[in-house]
Amino acid sequence: MIRLLKYPVMTGLIIFSNLCIYAQKPDTIKAQDTIRHENLKPVSTTGNFPKKALAALKQFNISGYYRFVTNYRHLDNAYPNLENNKNNIFVGDDSQIQQFMLNINGSLVKNTFFGCDLYMWTPMTGLGMVENVKGLNLGITLYGTYSSPYGDFTVRTGGINWYALTPFTFQTNKGYNRYSIFERNPWDPNTKTLDGRYASFYHAGAINQDERWGQQAFQGIIFEATNLPKGFSGVIMYGKTQLNGGLSPVPNTSFGGKIREDYGQNFISLNTFNSTAYFDSTERYRYGFNVITAEFRNVIGKFQIRGEVGAGRTFFQDLTTTWGEAVSLKLFTPIADKVPTELHVYRISPKVINSSSAIINTSGQGYINPNSDAPQPVLPAIESTMVPIGQLTNNRQGFDLNTEFNISKIKFSVGYSNSMELEKISSKITYWHPINSLVLAHFWRWDFPSHVGPYNNLSKIYRTVYETLNLTNIDPLTKLPLDEKYFNNIEINAKYTGKLFNRDYYIYYLGQYSSAQNFLAAFTVFTEKALLRTYYHQLEFYYVISPSFIWANYFGYERIIANYQTETDKVSRRPKNQTGYSIATGCDIRLSKGAGLYFRQRWMNYHDSSFENDKYNGFETTVEIKIFF
Amino acid sequence: MDKLKLPVLLLFLTLQVNALHAQQRHTIEIVGGARSIISNNNIKVRDSVPDTTTIKRNTGGYALIDLGVDVRPNKYVEILGMFRIRNDYGGFWGSGVSFDVRQLWLKGIIGNVVRYQVGDLNLKQTPFTLYNHHADRIDSLPAIFNLQNEIISYEKFYMDNTWRQQGVNVDFGLNFSKILKEIDFTGYMTRLNGTNFVTIPDRLMSGASVNIIQSRHVNFGYNGFWVFDVKGTVPDSSLYNNSVNTINLGYVTDFRNNMRLDCKAEFGWSKSVWSKDVDASQLKDYFIHAYATLNLPKQNLDFTLGYLNVGPDFRSIGAQSKDINYAAAPNYYNYYTNKQIARPLSVFDVVRNENIYNTSVSSNLMPSNPVYNNVLPYGLATFNIQGGYAKINYTYPEGIAVNFEEYVLSEIRGQGTNSLKLFTQSKLLAQFEINKLAHFSKRLKVNLGANYQTTWRSSDAAIEDVALNSLQFHAGIEFEFIKKMDLLLGFVGLFNKGNDFIPVRNSYSKVEYFEKVNYDLSQNYSGAGIRFRFLSDRIYLCALYQFNTYTDKQNTNPSYNLDQFALIFNMTF
Amino acid sequence: MKKIFLFALCITSLWSCRKDNSGFDGPSIKEMFGPFKMEEDFKASRDSVDFGNGETVLFTARFNKAIAWRITVTGQTSHAKKIITGLSKTIDTPAGIWNGSTTIFPMFRIENCVAVLSLDGVADSFQVATKIKSIKVNTGLVIADFENGFDPAWTKFVQTGADMDFNIKNDGYAPQGVKYLNMAGTVNWDWLIGMIDYPASAYGGGKTLPLPSNPDQVYFNCLIYGVPNTNESLVLFQFKEDEHATGNIDPNTNDEYDLQIHVNWTGWKLISVRYSDLPYLNNGQPAVPKGNNQHNPDKIGKISMLELADPSNGFASCKIDYLIFTSSPLEP
């Protein structure tokens, strides 16, 4: 037995007397971080894998912001839905709920990127962790570019991508920069200097806008080709707009694109945008639209003419409308080299329905897939709507005149609009309440209900509310109006800056005077003859007490008067006669670089002297802290 | 001396800053990738009654990001935590968003000797212990199909033949100057499932491999694999134990003209025991696998002859788990026809549907599917099989690779009869890189392949007879028509004809029943696409269209066509 | 060459290790796919059975091949059913054992029963009769079976809505015994229709229920009947622990665990849930309990049973019976 064991034992002793111990070649532990033995051997074919290091991202960035916003609202008189909640505390912003936003992007190799925007929000109702919200605001985007002798090619997939083609195909209205800047939007940036927001509105005519300004949300794939031979470029997009949104596998898709040729300062492009949604799994029921346009710009001396001309149609199951025209022409000239003036002429058929364009749909029930589980945050107003100058609607033709001029230090931006409907489709007029717009929207948190309020005629869309007025001069059988509707609008935006006690101050006035009537008029009708008159006055005053403190003030007044050809109250038997006030004050405080505290206190009082229940008054206090990094 | 003070101090400070900078650079890195897929699918059911129930077209997709934070606090430790953020196509403003932890592990080196990893592991041993054989996947798949196949591998953490596990792994090596050259040791322990405290005990899986390299000519080793239930984690339960012990041998010798003979063998034993279940018999058996490869470098040829004998009761769950779970719902046209019956899987699913693939090993013997593999459904670890095989491999350095293999096998123990089934498999794979042969720079690659399988049993009782033939063939082209931009074309055909008896096994893998099947199936799967590669082959944008027909001439299930248009933007390493 | 020979010899030496493979796996195909034949009649081991004393009935049969089989035992009075299925060549222990449990309610009573054996692909069926002398006894803590009416220690609250019927009934619907609790009514201003508190003092006089401390070994079971063509009811059980055995449960310092059941089916259904799987629900959403955050079944001081329904829906109705704690899922 001992003899049997002798050789193995001796062999073992010999072996182990000569051994040296080493670590195998490291895999993901980087070679430069590891002490390597000189006798490193090839890695084993068994065990744990991978045997080599993971490649690190070439580039990785995180940016974002923290935005804390809270409202306290007290109402002495409230709408019925708030009767039991006259005092309300709300932490967050229900339309843009992210409190903490992280924009994350990385790159694996040159010219390719991916990114996402992660948000967190705590409503602070006392429930703690269980109520906290996390998610992606816009989603995940992948981006790649390729440059070749034939052109540069870019692809964006995933989403949401903010993108625009042309006003009639895929874009939102940019307007003429006539608005109030007292209330802060979730997407408003912190300017480099605290008064930058107010100074740039005076000097440049617009505050710094978010990159999404004028663009629409799109999810899917966007393929762009630029710098192609002979000045050509192009875009192809396929996927979903937010009206196609939802996780149902039933097809609900949009596609579009354009081919553009640039020559000198001029260009011409052919554009299209199309959407098809199916209501059922077997595709027997469908709904959608097609829009085809040409857009151009031509510079002739001091004149510049630009515009978009095209056609659109809609289809529902097997019924397809004929093509309807869509024309928008703008002639721009600096009169006497000092007064830039633009004449805008347009005509858009009621058959052109594209809710992903800058055109508000006033001719149908809107375009939304009933199968879609997406919210409807930006469904535009339907029926005949009174809109700010520059906002296009279908079933309408008209012209606008816009100009800007200075008198001493006062800067004026003036607009005039005259338009009419093409077809008598709607027996309703819709209009807005800009004076207390955001406060009113806060009356309905989280969702976007229609036909609410004490008389079921208010509808919320995104951060505002519109009201519907019924006309009574209608055909009793068809319920259609007997007359066409005509719209007039005048807008004046005046801006002034000066110094008080050696400190800068800014004064802005925005006046909008509009009317809708059943006859053609040269100017806004200020008499009882108008079906509806709306007058909005907004006066703002900002005083830069120090580079870190600005005193902000606001006064708003609205008068809305309808005549007896519209629906009257059953008790008072009088038509709408609405008056709204708003007085607000507040301050902007610079906390540190990139960090600001914004306080707003608004007192409001609104009532309709004809419709007794249509009234509210009270105040809302808003505190916002915003920090970018 | 004082004159030197300032320069020395400056130099010292510079070194300090450099060192700090270097440390910071390597302390934390971000790894990961991203992918976006949008697809538009269409089904056409060829039923006698028109299908007006199944959703005809199906749009879907997602975008996802895998973000891994790779932390190295010092040169001996590395930690990786990877998040997955996914956004389903159509989800706006936060809907359809999910967050997951994709992987988390810690690894390091102890005393410059023992390497360890804790957390997520990707483990592999030998083909009879722990090994993901991918038995039913099509080898050398054309690129137009392989793109989605590779996404499955990424999603399921397949690294060649590994299985994803969670536990701990250690390995180290010993180097010798006499008699032996070196010994490598690998050991791991993972958990297959946790206890529910009542009926399911904690089940652990462990393994160890010792590989001894005696010289350049001789190597041998031991591999152990054990799966066992932990006693006491549930009250009074039957405990399962599966152990596999194998020895591997290798011998290499050179002849004249650089000819080389490489002999390899692995043999071992397995034992499966259920401690209390009266229905379960103890399963014990052995296997032998040996082959010799003659390498003729001058002729660019390899010849291999092999012998395989795996006992009917050989059980090794680490090697006999299948990557495809045929019982899983594909989550993609699960049901069809007006009766909404379960849709039979097609090549289309096998190639591109990650929902039917497993990440980890299964404790129970998974069912096989004769349509996709009737000869070696569990790879080399297929039990109850014996026979030989031959392989010829021709590799021309400038762009030709041809591989042919022939398996001739038979059962060892009959299934429902004393008569034994005979199997053959003839497989041919060829790849031609024409650009290399014709000496031009842009990629032009042609793939061809075929796999013909036969299963045959002849018995005194005609009812026991089996005759099943399967032919799978494929062809593919990759053509770089513009720099970095490839045209991809491919075709896969699969035809099954004949009959067989599929064993239905209980949880102890004992045959309880036979399901009689008759096939007359034909499947055609074709695809075309354009791919743009961003610097790396794994970062690409591809638009592809694929068309699949599933025709069941027996009409056991109604025939159908599936087609798909997909846009894939993939960024992974 | 010598080394290669040794190499081969080493491997082939294993041949002798394998056991005899002369048999085959599984049932004989020849038999399976040949004609069916009953080789041993379908029989019951007893013609009368005393389930209450732990007796069982063993059904047996033998065929010439493995075949899918189904035994349906039907109570001739209650019409309760027990269904046992299998795929085998023989029916024997343990598959063929019936312990008196029920598959389709009501539960079996003391009655005559008929067991019918049906076989897959075989037109004929086979039957035997047996008689239940005493019914199966389920071991556990019965909270309520309503056989003796309302316990005075329970607290009942019923809203003053329309068509309120929150009463114990004896109308043949009872799945266990002869009585059950009906919970129905229209309350158009509140979710709550009615509720019953079962205090621990009603079960042995202690401040907590006499249950084991291991929450993994405590199951709560009940039988609920979904009334066809009515609005969905929500039955909510609140298990309120009295962690300090004060007899006065402070909801801010004690754990509560909840079981919320959407009654969206028709007929009787057994609900069985392990106590350790119960979450604490705050307004229907899982939340962190307010006590020691540990499931302590032995510290349950009170169980509240609430019948809820959406007030905008109108009338809602369901029936409930046999609330019992057991150590494993109830096999009624």
Q: A249 and A192 in contact (C-beta within 8 Å)?
A: no
- The answer to whether position C14 is within a domain reads no
Q: What is the DSSP letter of B288?
A: E
- The answer to whether position C16 is within a domain reads no
- The answer to whether position C264 is within a domain reads yes
- The answer to whether position B455 is within a domain reads yes
Q: B61 and B38 in contact (C-beta within 8 Å)?
A: yes
- The answer to whether position B492 is within a domain reads yes
Cα angle A321, A322, A328; round to 5: 110
Would the pLDDT of A39 be above 50? no
CB-based contact B122 A21, cutoff 8 Å: no
Q: Which residues form the domain of C55?
A: 30-134
A103 and chain B: CB distance < 8 Å anywhere?
no
Q: Which residue in chain C has the smallest CA separation from A132?
A: C287
Reference A598, options A555, A566, A551, A562; nearest CA is A551
Each residue of B466-492: pLDDT tens digit?
999 999 999 999 999 988 899 999 999
Of B197, B251, B311, the CB nearest to C18: B311
Q: Which residue in chain B has the smallest CA separation from A54?
A: B31
- Does residue C297 sit in the same domain as residue C150? yes
Q: C85 and C69 in contact (C-beta within 8 Å)?
A: yes
- Does residue C95 sit in the same domain as residue C165? no
Residue B4: pLDDT band (50, 70, 90) is very low
Measure the CA–CA gap between B244 and B255, rounded to whole angstroms.
Answer: 36
Q: C183 and C166 in contact (C-beta within 8 Å)?
A: yes
For B414, other C-beta atoms within 10 Å of its C-beta total: 23
pTM for this one?
Answer: 0.77
Cα angle B520, B58, B348; round to 5: 35
Measure the CA–CA gap between A251 and A281, rounded to whole angstroms.
Answer: 8
- The answer to whether position B186 is within a domain reads no
CB-based contact C11 B412, cutoff 8 Å: no
Give the contacts of A593 (CB within 8 A, at least 6 positions apart). Answer: none
Question: How close A616 comes to chain B (CA, Å)?
Answer: 32
Q: Which residue in chain A has the smallest CA separation from B176?
A: A19
- Does residue C230 sit in the same domain as residue C296? yes
- The answer to whether position B10 is within a domain reads no
Question: How close C13 comes to chain B (CA, Å)?
Answer: 10
Q: Which residue in chain A has the smallest CA separation from B75?
A: A33
- Residues 271-290 in C contacting A (C-alpha not used; CB under 8 Å): 282, 285-288
- The answer to whether position C9 is within a domain reads no
Tell me, letter by letter, the H, E, C secondary structure of chain C: CHHHHHHHHHHHHHHHHCCCCCCEECCCHHHHCCCCCEEEEEEECCCEEEHHHCCCEEEEEEEEEEEEEEEEEEECCCCCEEEEEEEEEEECCCCCEECCCCCECCCCCCCEEEEEEEECCCCCEEEEEEEEEECCCCCCEEEECCCCCCCCCCEEEECCCEEEECCEECCCCCCCCCCEEEEEEECCCCCEEEEEEEEHHHCCCCCCCCCCCCHHHCEEEEEEEECCCCECEEEEEEEEECCCCCCCCCCCCCCEEEEEEEECCCEEEEEEEEHHHCCEEECCEEECCCCCCCCCHHHEEEEEEEEECCCCCCCEEEEEEEEEEECCCCCC
A130 and chain C: CB distance < 8 Å anywhere?
yes
Question: How close B186 comes to chain A (CA, Å)?
Answer: 6
CB-based contact C26 B285, cutoff 8 Å: no
**Positive or negative CA dihedral for A239, A240, A246, A252?**
negative
Place of tokens 């250690």: B170
Place of tokens 């990440």: B359
- 3-class SS at A236? strand
B246 and chain C: CB distance < 8 Å anywhere?
no
A20 and chain C: CB distance < 8 Å anywhere?
no
CB-based contact C286 A128, cutoff 8 Å: no
At C233, give phi and psi (nearest 5°). -95, 155
- Does residue C175 sit in the same domain as residue C92? no
Would the pLDDT of B213 be above 80? yes
Question: How close C11 comes to chain B (CA, Å)?
Answer: 7
CB-based contact C14 B288, cutoff 8 Å: yes
- Residues 200-219 in A contacting B (C-alpha not used; CB under 8 Å): 217, 219
Domain count along chain C: 2
User: Which residues in chain A have their CB less than 8 angstroms from residue B112's CB?
Assistant: 22-23, 35, 37
User: Which residues in chain C have their CB less than 8 angstroms from residue A130's CB?
Assistant: 282, 285-288
**Beta pairing partners, C114:** C74, C129
A127 and chain C: CB distance < 8 Å anywhere?
yes
- The pLDDT of residue A135 is 81
- The pLDDT of residue C2 is 59
Q: What is the DSSP letter of B367?
A: P
- The answer to whether position C234 is within a domain reads yes
Q: Which residues form the domain of B136?
A: 26-177+202-228+239-258+270-571
User: Which residues in chain C have their CB less than 8 angstroms from residue A129's CB?
Assistant: 288
Domain count along chain B: 1
Last residue of a domain, one of C103, C134, C165: C134
User: Which residues in chain C have their CB less than 8 angstroms from residue A128's CB?
Assistant: 288
Measure the CA–CA gap between A595 and C259, rounded to whole angstroms.
Answer: 47
A591 and chain C: CB distance < 8 Å anywhere?
no
- Residues 537-556 in A contacting B (C-alpha not used; CB under 8 Å): none
- The answer to whether position C17 is within a domain reads no
Place of tokens 């100074």: A199
B220 and chain C: CB distance < 8 Å anywhere?
no
For C127, other C-beta atoms within 10 Å of its C-beta total: 15
- Does residue C205 sit in the same domain as residue C99? no
- Does residue C71 sit in the same domain as residue C172? no
- Does residue C119 sit in the same domain as residue C160? no
- Does residue C129 sit in the same domain as residue C164? no
Which chains are adjacent to chain A, needing at least 3 Cβ pairs under 8 Å? B, C
Q: Which residue in chain C has the smallest CA separation from B414?
A: C24
Question: How close C263 comes to chain A (CA, Å)?
Answer: 26
User: Which residues in chain B have their CB less than 8 angstroms from residue C87's CB?
Assistant: 512-513
- Does residue C116 sit in the same domain as residue C145? no
CB-based contact C286 A129, cutoff 8 Å: no
Question: How close A250 comes to chain B (CA, Å)?
Answer: 6
Cα angle C127, C133, C137; round to 5: 105
Q: Which of A153-162, A243-252, A508-517, C210-219 is the least confident region? A: A243-252
- The pLDDT of residue B507 is 84
- Does residue C124 sit in the same domain as residue C59? yes
CB pairs under 8 A between B and C: 97
User: Which residues in chain A have their CB less than 8 angstroms from residue B120's CB?
Assistant: none
- The pLDDT of residue B280 is 64
Of A34, A110, A282, the CB nearest to B109: A34
C20 and chain B: CB distance < 8 Å anywhere?
no
- The answer to whether position C274 is within a domain reads yes
Q: A134 and A118 in contact (C-beta within 8 Å)?
A: yes
- The answer to whether position B263 is within a domain reads no
User: Which residues in chain B have their CB less than 8 angstroms from residue C22's CB?
Assistant: 418
Tens digit of pLDDT at every position of chain C (332 positions): 555 565 555 555 555 455 566 789 988 898 888 888 899 999 999 999 999 998 999 999 999 888 889 999 999 998 999 999 998 889 998 889 999 999 988 999 999 999 999 998 888 889 999 999 999 999 999 999 999 999 989 998 888 778 888 999 998 889 998 899 999 988 877 788 899 999 999 998 888 999 999 999 999 999 999 988 788 889 999 999 998 888 888 888 889 999 999 998 888 999 999 999 899 887 777 788 888 888 999 999 999 999 998 877 778 899 999 999 999 999 88
Q: What share of chain B is helix, strand, coil (3-state, %, to 5)?
A: 10, 55, 35
Q: Which residue in chain B has the smallest CA separation from C90?
A: B512
CB-based contact C26 B503, cutoff 8 Å: yes
Last residue of a domain, one of C134, C167, C183: C134
**Could you tell me the CATH number of the domain that includes residue C294?**
2.60.120.260
Q: A172 and A214 in contact (C-beta within 8 Å)?
A: yes
CB-based contact C23 B413, cutoff 8 Å: yes
- The answer to whether position B430 is within a domain reads yes
- Residues 287-316 in C contacting A (C-alpha not used; CB under 8 Å): 287-288
CB-based contact A54 B70, cutoff 8 Å: yes
B285 and chain C: CB distance < 8 Å anywhere?
yes
Would the pLDDT of A57 be above 90? no
Q: B268 and B128 in contact (C-beta within 8 Å)?
A: yes
- The answer to whether position B191 is within a domain reads no
Question: How close C296 comes to chain B (CA, Å)?
Answer: 16
Residue type present at position B422: L
Structure tokens at A627: 């920090």
Q: What is the DSSP letter of A433?
A: -
Mean pLDDT of B372-396: 96
Would the pLDDT of A224 be above 90? yes
- Does residue C186 sit in the same domain as residue C304? yes
C5 and chain B: CB distance < 8 Å anywhere?
no
User: Which residues in chain A have their CB less than 8 angstroms from residue B75's CB?
Assistant: 29, 33-35
- The pLDDT of residue C18 is 58
- The answer to whether position B192 is within a domain reads no
Each residue of A251-287: pLDDT tens digit?
888 999 999 999 988 999 999 999 988 877 667 778 8
Last residue of a domain, one of C134, C158, C183: C134
Place of tokens 């006392």: A126
Long-range contacts of B15-22 (CB under 8 A, 24+ apart): none
C252 and chain A: CB distance < 8 Å anywhere?
no
Structure tokens at A157: 């997939």
